[in-house]
Structure 1
Amino acid sequence: MIPEPWDIESRRNAMQTAQWLLETGAVRYDPQNPCRHGSGLVSPLHVEGRLLLSHPGTRGGVIRLALRMIEEEVTDARLDAVAAAEGAGVPFATLIADRLGLPLVFVRKEGREPCSYKDRLEGPVEPGWNLLLVEQLATDGHRKARFAEPLTQAGCRVAHAFVLFQYGIFDAIHDHLAKLGITLHALCTWWDILDAAAAGHFLDARAQAEIEAFLADPRRWTADHTTRSASNAA
């Protein structure tokens, strides 16, 4: 089967994004101090996309790819605003909203105390608006559901979410987002980073093999390393 031109471009953009993440040190491999997720799984890999922002050329390149993806894939309705999910994705949401000339609103997973009257949504929105939810990354999608909740309660439609990076290994993400009618758009996945790391020799053979083992079966990798950590502590 001959790939479509957009599929080829999407793959090229994914590899470029992965290379930028590796070159800027945004990807950290540390199996001794695994990253813990809300799902209970642990990962030997960490991504800190904010490091991209320190490099003007790379920052501009990532935003150009993001805008191209949004233009090509978010076509079912005109966007009225960009919603920035609290956390590391806020600067990316700000840049995207600025380039699109759209209002920017902020949304939290939980209400703030003691100022609960501010609740979880900051910024004016109108019932019927179509919002693009922007965050730095996606694992299994459960965070997106919590961020979308106050937006839909305000009468807005959230049919699309954009992230710089998604794990690409958690099937549950489709279940979580499909129930909400949200389509996820991501510039790259761990598989793209693994391919880019191999092509650019960013990791040695041992690290490459360990990452492949995690990606192939994250639950087993979690079980093995949780048991190992418990044994070492004892």
Structure 2
Amino acid sequence: MIPDAWDIELREGALTVARHLIETGCVRYDPHHLCRHGSGLVSPVHLEGRRLLSYPAARNEILDFAVRMIEQEVGGRELDAIAAGEGAGVPWATLIADRLDLPFVFVRKEAPEGEQEYKHRIEGRVEPGWRVLLVEQLAADGHRKARFAQPLKEAGCDVRDVFVLFQYGIFDEIHEHLAPLGITMHALATWWDVLEVVNRGHYLDGEAQGEIHAFLHDPKRWTAEHQEKRGRHKVA
């Protein structure tokens, strides 16, 4: 099958995003301080997308690509608002809402309790029937995305897409969490794109590349082996 123009642009864009993540220091390999995921897995690589916000050139190029993907895969002109869950995705969602000239909506992790009647789970203007795009910084297993999409759906919003800068691309559970809600995930790049750029540019030595490769291909096995090693070390 011959790739069309968007497929080619999508691939080139993913590698560009991955390169920006690496060169701005968002990707950190640290086998001595493992990254712990909510699923219980651990990995030797960390990703901190907030650092990208400090680099205007990289930030703007990524935003250009983000808007292009939203227009191609989501239908930017059909959207009524951009939403973000409480956390690291807020600045990116705000910037994208500004680019698309759309309202921005903030979703809290939990509904406010007690006497905080002036606060709501959803802050901002939403109307029943509005098509809302949920924008986040990254996605692992999709559990958090489903958690933020649910109150929007309960408010009568049409939430059928989630857009993230970065998706791990290794957790099958993401489909289990989002498919029942009728939500499709869209991501600019994954760990596989980062690994390809690392391999091309020799950003890390062979040992580091091998460990990352081993984790991505079987994260459960990598976790089990390294937790066992840490356990033996503690006993000693």
Question: Which TM-score band applies after superposition, normalised by the shorter structure?
Answer: over 0.9
Q: Retained in 1: the 8 A contact 2:24–2:52?
A: yes
Deviation per CA, 1:7-47: give whole Å up to 9, x if none: 11100000000000000000011122111111111111111
2:78 aligned counterpart, secondary structure: coil
Q: Retained in 1: the 8 A contact 2:71–2:77?
A: no
Deviation per CA, 1:142-166: give whole Å up to 9, x if none: 1111001111111111111110000
Q: Which moved more, 1:147-156 or 1:16-25?
A: 147-156
Aligned residues: 234
Alignment of 1:3-82 (within 5 A): 3-75=3-75, 78-82=78-82
Offset at residue 179 of structure 1 (A):
0.7
Partner in structure 1 of residue 211 of structure 2: 210
Partner in structure 1 of residue 90 of structure 2: 90
Letter matched to residue 136 of structure 2: E
Unmatched runs of 5 consecutive residues or more in structure 1: none
User: In the aligned structure 2, how far is the partner of 1:174 from the partner of 1:14?
Assistant: 21
User: In the aligned structure 1, how far is the partner of 2:73 from the partner of 2:168?
Assistant: 20
Letter matched to residue 81 of structure 1: A
Offset at residue 115 of structure 1 (A):
5.5
Letter matched to residue 220 of structure 1: R
Q: Retained in 1: the 8 A contact 2:136–2:163?
A: yes
Offset at residue 76 of structure 1 (A):
9.1
User: In the aligned structure 2, how far is the partner of 1:110 from the partner of 1:220?
Assistant: 34
4+ aligned runs moved over 3 Å, structure 1: 112-117
Name the Cα RMSD after superposition: 1.4
Partner in structure 2 of residue 152 of structure 1: 153
User: In the aligned structure 1, how far is the partner of 2:30 from the partner of 2:110?
Assistant: 30
Offset at residue 210 of structure 1 (A):
0.3
Q: Percent identity?
A: 64
User: In the aligned structure 1, how far is the partner of 2:146 from the partner of 2:115?
Assistant: 23
Unmatched runs of 5 consecutive residues or more in structure 2: none
2:160 aligned counterpart, secondary structure: strand
Alignment of 1:130-149 (within 5 A): 130-149=131-150
Letter matched to residue 233 of structure 1: K
